[in-house]
């Protein structure tokens, strides 16, 4: 079997670790100060794709749509064992909601050739919407299995998957190709291989190569790119034009949802009654609650 | 002003979710909210019921004000399957262009809604904590009667109001318990529109091999006392104290998302934006800092006691009683004193 898996990954701000420095005085978030991390469930998705490759052979391609610095997580994917990495980056993608994002991703996937699986994490921690997976599947016109907990069996033309449902689980069998979104407990991502880290830490996107040529008249971008391609250190880099996309469907223009208002969360002063952390204090509190018929 | 044209549909649709023939509470909560939205919009409230032998479910939607039920009843549709369910909804939404479509933010709703939104190119906002209808000025244009889709975002540091100004259909998902269940005194006499099931080759591309489902023993929404623990408890062992206190008080156990993520307790106990919204008589928050997502799920509790070592923790901002101290010491004290008082 020669199965091709494409894994959609995302670099996300580490919203779980927002510290004081990250908050601006007006209470909004300073995104530039937030550490950017590899969305964990996407890493689990990559692990599942790599397991399929280990067992049945084939190839794993990772793609991400994001700003130039999203190449960091693509290198991490290469360290884990991905065969190819693709960065889809363009200023015109800025402000994309899930619909515009799924349009770009689905068009990119269509250009990557034949595939059997598209994997993604169930959701990304910056929005928690869980929408891009199903929307990409719809645009690719392939079935989807969301909330996957375990891959039970793979054949040349089908896959059997255990997925979570309300109050339990179900086992589904789908024909290939299929898009699968995975839960964090579906597997444990493998550590980086030292050899691969040494090899791929120098892998670069076109944007990063262009940076190298800046201010260096001896370096020509086409030559440099060829060199990186031949050393297998080139991270394919695609823009809106490369993908021949409809600009009206990208970025903020292609997004039906708009942010109308943002309010920073202002904490109410708090009219609570302080209770002494002592037996007496707690005794008084319990008396009050009993009087109000809340306890007892 | 970008007015809603007379020819435009102003209806509010609610997808009625059923599992093993049992309708989900969240669907009726959404009908309750949808009824108010439809009144403001001057449109009608419609329920979409897909399944097999769904007559009882249809009757129940009338108790919540559904003026019309669009239904497809067929053995092939007994259990939720992504492909036929999304195809049917795609066709219905394309045909009627409802102004608003609401889904429960359940596993089924989160599987189905994005697929339908993608096909119909509608805007979709996940996990809304409030929905309103309002005139909106956006980019110097005035829009009449847009759906305000309100949700915490970005780690809970902001509350965002999302709109879908330029598309005919606005979609949103809402978690269970967020909207109040408000049955009518007298059910409406709604219309039932039956639609034939016409199978499609892709309907069976995914087969259900087996299904296991257990009725959840957790019913946080119905609990009058909830004892809830957060990440501040430190370990799963320490979390046992939460169970003890809940036992003594005759309450249910809950946790914040951080506690669930840390493995202290399972997700069906999670209170907050991505869990359940509760309104008990008493909510005791132990070692919970009180991020907006958590507060969204419990702020309407009748009385809130917050126990936290950090006097600046946001949870104190909405508490009625605050105890600054280590929950590991306060809870055993609470249990002791309470037992003495009962004697």
- For chain B, which domains are there? 12-204 (3.40.50.620), 220-342 (3.40.50.1220)
> Between the CA of residue B69 and those of B47, B48, B50, what are the distances in Å?
5, 6, 10
* Contact map slice: B 157-196 vs A, CB within 8 A: 157-167
Q: Output the CA angle A276-A278-A281, nearest 5 degrees.
A: 50
Would A268 be classed as within a structural domain? no
Q: List the domain range (segments joined by +) for residue A189.
A: 3-249
Distance from CA of A256 to the nearest CA of B (A): 5
Distance from CA of B45 to the nearest CA of A (A): 23
E runs forming strands in B154-205: 158-163, 170-174, 191-194
Comparing CB atoms, the residue among A170, A258, A272 nearest residue B211 is: A170
Coil, helix or strand at residue A86: strand
The structural domain count of chain A equals 1
Enumerate the residues of chain B whose CB falls inside 8 A of the CB of residue A139. Answer: 118
Enumerate the residues of chain B whose CB falls inside 8 A of the CB of residue A175. Answer: 205-206
pLDDT score at A1: 81
- Interchain pair B341, A296: CB under 8 A: yes
pLDDT score at A140: 98
- Interchain pair B337, A282: CB under 8 A: yes
Enumerate the residues of chain B whose CB falls inside 8 A of the CB of residue A255. Answer: 123
| pTM for this predicted structure | 0.90
- Whether chain A has a CB inside 8 Å of the CB on B155: the answer is yes
Is omega for the bond preceding A177 within 30 degrees of 0, making it cis? Answer: yes
Rg over alpha carbons for chain B, rounded to the nearest Å, is: 22
Would A167 be classed as within a structural domain? yes
- Interchain pair B117, A126: CB under 8 A: no
- Interchain pair B319, A270: CB under 8 A: yes
Nearest to A88 by CA among A159, A8, A28, A32: A8
Residue of A153, A272, A285 to mutate for B, most B C-beta atoms under 10 A: A272
Kindly report the CATH number assigned to the domain that includes residue A71.
3.40.50.620
Enumerate the residues of chain B whose CB falls inside 8 A of the CB of residue A95. Answer: none
> Between the CA of residue B309 and those of A281, B46, B48, B246, what are the distances in Å?
16, 49, 49, 21
Would A192 be classed as within a structural domain? yes
Cβ-proximal residues to B325 (8 Å cutoff; 6+ apart), any chain: A277, B307, B309
Would A276 be classed as within a structural domain? no
- Whether chain A has a CB inside 8 Å of the CB on B145: the answer is no
Enumerate the residues of chain B whose CB falls inside 8 A of the CB of residue A183. Answer: none
* Contact map slice: B 294-323 vs A, CB within 8 A: 302-303, 305-306, 314, 316-323
Would A292 be classed as within a structural domain? no
pLDDT score at B250: 93
> Could you count the other beta carbons within 10 Å of the beta carbon of residue A175?
16
Distance from CA of A198 to the nearest CA of B (A): 33
Chain B residue with CA closest to A131: the answer is: B114
pLDDT score at B154: 73
The sign of the torsion formed by the CA atoms of A241, A243, A246, A251 equals negative
- Interchain pair B274, A128: CB under 8 A: yes
A151 forms beta bridges with A161
Enumerate the residues of chain B whose CB falls inside 8 A of the CB of residue A274. Answer: 322-324
Q: Determine which helix (DSSP H) or strand (DSSP E) holds B124, and give its type and residue range.
A: strand B123-128
Comparing CB atoms, the residue among A126, A257, A294 nearest residue B164 is: A257
Residue of B85, B106, B118 to mutate for A, most A C-beta atoms under 10 A: B118
Enumerate the residues of chain A whose CB falls inside 8 A of the CB of residue B174. Answer: none
Q: Output the CA angle B236-B239-B243, nearest 5 degrees.
A: 130
Chain A residue with CA closest to B217: the answer is: A167
Residue of B82, B125, B330 to mutate for A, most A C-beta atoms under 10 A: B82
Would A295 be classed as within a structural domain? no
Cα B35 from Cα B45, distance rounded (Å): 6
pLDDT score at A262: 87
Cα A219 from Cα A209, distance rounded (Å): 10
Comparing CB atoms, the residue among B209, B281, B282 nearest residue A172 is: B209
Distance from CA of B182 to the nearest CA of A (A): 24
- Interchain pair A143, B206: CB under 8 A: yes
Residue with tokens 């079997």: A1
Q: Which tens digit of pLDDT belongs to each residue from B123-150?
A: 999 999 999 999 999 999 999 999 999 9
- Whether chain A has a CB inside 8 Å of the CB on B119: the answer is yes
- Interchain pair B124, A131: CB under 8 A: yes
pLDDT score at B6: 64
- Interchain pair B317, A260: CB under 8 A: no
Enumerate the residues of chain A whose CB falls inside 8 A of the CB of residue B225. Answer: 294-295
Instruction: Say whether the ipTM exceeds 0.90.
Output: yes
B193 forms beta bridges with B70
> With contact defined as beta carbons under 8 Å apart, do A285 and B305 qualify?
yes
Would A289 be classed as within a structural domain? no
> Between the CA of residue A22 and those of A37, A232, B154, what are the distances in Å?
15, 38, 12
- Whether chain A has a CB inside 8 Å of the CB on B19: the answer is yes
- Whether chain A has a CB inside 8 Å of the CB on B341: the answer is yes
For residue B278, give both structure tokens. 């509760």
Enumerate the residues of chain B whose CB falls inside 8 A of the CB of residue A279. Answer: 333, 336-337
Q: At what angle do helices A40-56 and A71-80 cross, to 10 degrees?
A: 40
Each residue's pLDDT, cut to its tens digit, for chain A (296 residues) gives: 899 999 999 999 887 666 556 656 555 556 677 789 999 999 999 999 999 999 999 999 999 999 999 999 999 999 999 999 999 999 999 989 999 999 999 999 999 999 999 999 999 988 889 999 999 999 999 999 999 999 999 999 999 999 999 989 999 999 999 999 999 999 999 999 999 999 999 999 999 999 999 988 888 999 999 999 999 999 999 999 999 999 999 999 999 999 999 887 665 556 789 999 999 999 999 999 999 889 87
> With contact defined as beta carbons under 8 Å apart, do B95 and B165 qualify?
no
Would A286 be classed as within a structural domain? no
Size of interface A-B (CB pairs under 8 A): 240
Coil, helix or strand at residue B73: strand
Cα B160 from Cα B158, distance rounded (Å): 6
pLDDT score at A28: 53
Cα A261 from Cα A174, distance rounded (Å): 42
**Which residues of chain B register pLDDT less than 70?**
4-7, 155
Cα A179 from Cα A135, distance rounded (Å): 10
A175 forms beta bridges with A158
């Amino acid at each position: 079997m020669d199965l091709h898996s494409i894994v959609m990954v995302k670099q996300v701000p580490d919203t779980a670790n927002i510290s004081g420095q990250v908050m601006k005085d007006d209470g909004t978030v300073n995104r530039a100060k937030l550490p950017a991390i590899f969305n964990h469930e996407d890493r689990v998705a990559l692990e599942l794709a790599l397991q399929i490759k280990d067992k049945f052979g084939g190839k794993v391609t990772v793609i991400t749509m994001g700003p130039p610095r999203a190449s960091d997580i693509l290198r991490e994917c290469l360290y884990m064992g991905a065969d190819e990495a693709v960065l889809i980056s363009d200023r015109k993608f800025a402000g994309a909601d899930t619909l515009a994002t799924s349009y770009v991703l689905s068009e990119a996937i269509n250009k990557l050739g034949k595939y059997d699986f598209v994997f993604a994490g169930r959701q990304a921690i910056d929005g928690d919407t869980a929408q891009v997976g199903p929307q990409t599947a719809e645009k690719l016109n392939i079935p989807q299995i969301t909330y996957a907990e375990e891959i039970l069996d793979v054949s040349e033309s089908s896959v059997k998957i255990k997925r979570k449902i309300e109050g339990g689980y179900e086992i589904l069998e789908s024909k290939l190709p299929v898009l699968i979104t995975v839960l964090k407990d579906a597997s444990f991502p493998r550590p980086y291989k030292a050899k691969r880290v040494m090899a791929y830490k120098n892998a670069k996107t076109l944007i990063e190569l262009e940076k190298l040529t800046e201010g260096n008249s001896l370096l020509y971008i086409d030559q440099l790119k060829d060199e990186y391609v031949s050393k297998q250190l080139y991270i394919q880099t695609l823009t809106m034009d490369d993908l021949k996309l409809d600009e009206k469907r990208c970025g903020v223009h292609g997004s039906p949802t708009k942010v109308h208002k943002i309010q920073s969360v202002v904490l109410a002063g708090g009219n609570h009654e302080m209770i002494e952390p002592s037996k007496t204090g707690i005794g008084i509190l319990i008396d009050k609650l009993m009087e109000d018929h809340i306890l007892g | 002003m970008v007015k809603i044209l007379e020819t435009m549909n102003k209806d509010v649709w609610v997808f009625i979710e059923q599992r093993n023939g049992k309708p989900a509470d969240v669907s009726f909560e959404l009908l309750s909210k949808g009824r108010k939205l439809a009144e403001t919009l001057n449109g009608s409230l419609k329920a979409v019921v897909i399944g097999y032998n769904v007559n009882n479910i249809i009757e129940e939607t009338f108790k919540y004000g559904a003026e019309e039920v669009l239904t497809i009843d067929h053995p092939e549709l007994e259990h939720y399957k992504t492909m036929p369910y999304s195809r049917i909804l795609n066709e219905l939404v394309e045909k009627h262009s409802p102004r608003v479509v609401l889904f429960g933010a359940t596993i089924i709703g989160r599987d189905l809604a994005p697929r339908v939104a993608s096909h119909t190119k509608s805007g979709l906002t996940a996990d809304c904590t409030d929905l309103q209808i309002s005139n909106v000025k956006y980019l110097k244009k005035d829009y009449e009667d847009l759906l305000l889709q309100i949700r915490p975002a970005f780690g809970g540091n902001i509350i965002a109001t999302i709109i879908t100004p330029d598309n005919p259909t606005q979609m949103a998902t809402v978690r269970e318990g967020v909207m109040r269940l408000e049955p009518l005194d007298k059910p409406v006499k709604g219309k039932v529109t039956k639609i034939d099931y016409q199978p499609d080759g892709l309907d069976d591309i995914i087969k259900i091999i087996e299904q296991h489902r257990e009725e959840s023993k957790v019913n946080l929404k119905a609990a009058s006392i909830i004892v809830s623990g957060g990440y501040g408890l430190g370990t799963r062992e320490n979390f046992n104290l939460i169970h003890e206190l809940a036992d003594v008080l005759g309450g249910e156990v809950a946790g914040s998302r951080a506690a669930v993520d840390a493995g202290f307790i399972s997700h069906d106990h999670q209170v907050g934006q991505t869990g359940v919204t509760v309104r008990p008589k008493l909510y005791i928050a132990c070692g919970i800092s009180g991020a907006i997502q958590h507060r969204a799920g419990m702020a309407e509790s009748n009385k809130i006691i917050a126990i936290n070592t950090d006097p600046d923790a946001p949870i104190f901002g909405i508490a009625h009683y605050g105890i600054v101290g280590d929950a590991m010491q306060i809870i055993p004290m609470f249990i002791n004193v309470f037992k003495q008082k009962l004697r």
